[in-house]
Structure 1
Amino acid sequence: MKADTQSTDLPCFDLHMHSTASDGALSPQALVELASQNGVQLLALTDHDTLTGQAEAAAAAKRLDMKFIPGVELTCRWNKRVIHLLGLNIDPDHKGWKGYLDHLSCLRNQRAEKIAKKLIGKGLPDDLLEQARALAGDGQIGRPHFARALLEAGLVSSESEAFDRFLGQGKPGDVKAEWPDMAEAISQVQKSGGYALLAHPTKYNLTFSRLRILLAEMVAAGVDGFEIAYPGVSQEQIGLLMRIADQHDLQVSSGSDFHTPKHRWTHLGRFPRVETHRHLIHALVAGG
């Protein structure tokens, strides 16, 4: 397994990226255009808890003769822990999406209000919520928008510092929400015709023993697989994850989790290569 390259008999692909429809820095069209410039030929837009960028991204991909895979990254919970579920090759027009995503949007807005209240209580600006909402625009509001608001206000030197001091785990802005259970999220993706996969499994601060339990419970709930290759995952971790995929007969996916060109640790189309018949890219290229 080699890093940062892809097999020559497959199109250059990226199955995990974000636009301004959620917490990305580029519009769906600009994101697709940058992906094309980077040589990506097949991509999935997977914004957090929204499908509003799908039509724009699909139209841009069509103009550029790229294959577009409709996608989403759903926030859900497992044993009171927040996890993210990728939905790939979904039907954005499936009738069940509206009510499900409206509920998530409501939860996000309620959480944003609680985050602002807690941070204002720590002496941060009274207009913090308004600034975060302005940065979110028409997209789903999240903690990254608060981080950018704090950066623009000159209260931190970087978005990373904002998370370290105010928004990260255990900090004042670490506000929990009653996200849907993982089984509900898996069912929603699959009812829309998509593949349900756990996003970036090594990024939940779980030991591999706990991760095995999570994945076993997800298998019992009908999950299709998990993301195996993404920025920050090590070759040792990929090997351990591959053994879990083999054990449970699961599919795997890969993506850059791209949010902004400012992040030096990731770029569109760049992530470790994993060559396996279990990779979802084979089905997507074949049109399944």
Structure 2
Amino acid sequence: MLKAKHVDRLMTGLMIGSAMIMAGILIFLLGIILLRGASHISLSFLTSNSSSFQAGGGIKNQLWNSFYLLVLTMVFTVPIGLLGGIYFAEYAKDNKWTSFLRSCVELLASLPSIIVGMFGMLLFVNVFGWGFSILSGALTLTIFNMPVMIQVSEAALRAIPNHQRHGSAALGATRWQTVKTVLLPAAFPALLTGMILSAGRVFGESAALIFTAGLTTPNLHFRQWHLFAMDSPFNPMRTAETLSVHIWAVNTVGIIPDAAQVAAGASAVLVLVILLFNLSARIIGRMIERGIKGN
């Protein structure tokens, strides 16, 4: 009995120690990035333009490109991922076909982003002829992020107790009516959390976008409302250097003398935005869950 207690204390200490080591590494990395980059963040840095080949300036275009590409990606990802999760959770039977589909989803979720980017370049850039564009990048990131959305949706729906399904069926509701009016509202907090976390994952992606969205951005005019004008910020067919790609570019292909300062400031902004996504996911999810439960 005494031996079992010692083993229990030892394993508890190892788990707590492992958690502290992981938290310490994360805090150290975030601290280094924020301390090095915070001094370079200013209003002009966020609202002025620059390129990987021009000293000074800011990250306005890159920041806009990141958010615009994120919105387009989520427009494609959320419906496809949600419908896929509904299928696996509510409609799919336990057979070889379903097992094969699950294996495909898991394989897609484990693919390196650079492999997905090369596939996107082959299909969207070359075969479809869209060139380096926001649309090519958004569809490539949809392939990259869709498996995660499917898995999040399935897990959120499976977490709902079966008595809610049975109660809806007892009232004469069809399976789709049960999904639409009972399960999706109940799973919405978890689904929203998954969407926001997926958005943070997309926002920080760079490898896939180098091959699909390009390394340059035209001089954008935010008063240009013609959708397909090359200087329109809303043109989905133009090239777009995102914030994460910009960080890579100024440190590799860029020739600007203040590359270290620009990269440090852009990295700090990127980390802060992703942290904001994660905190928002938790806060909004809890608020909606409390509202649904009436707490």
- Asked if these proteins are the same fold (TM beyond 0.5), I'd say no
Q: Which has the larger radius of gyration?
A: 2
Structure ranking higher on relative contact order (CA contacts 8 Å, 6+ apart): 2
Q: TM-score when scaled to structure 2? A: 0.23
Say which structure is richer in helix: 2
Q: TM-score when scaled to structure 1? A: 0.24
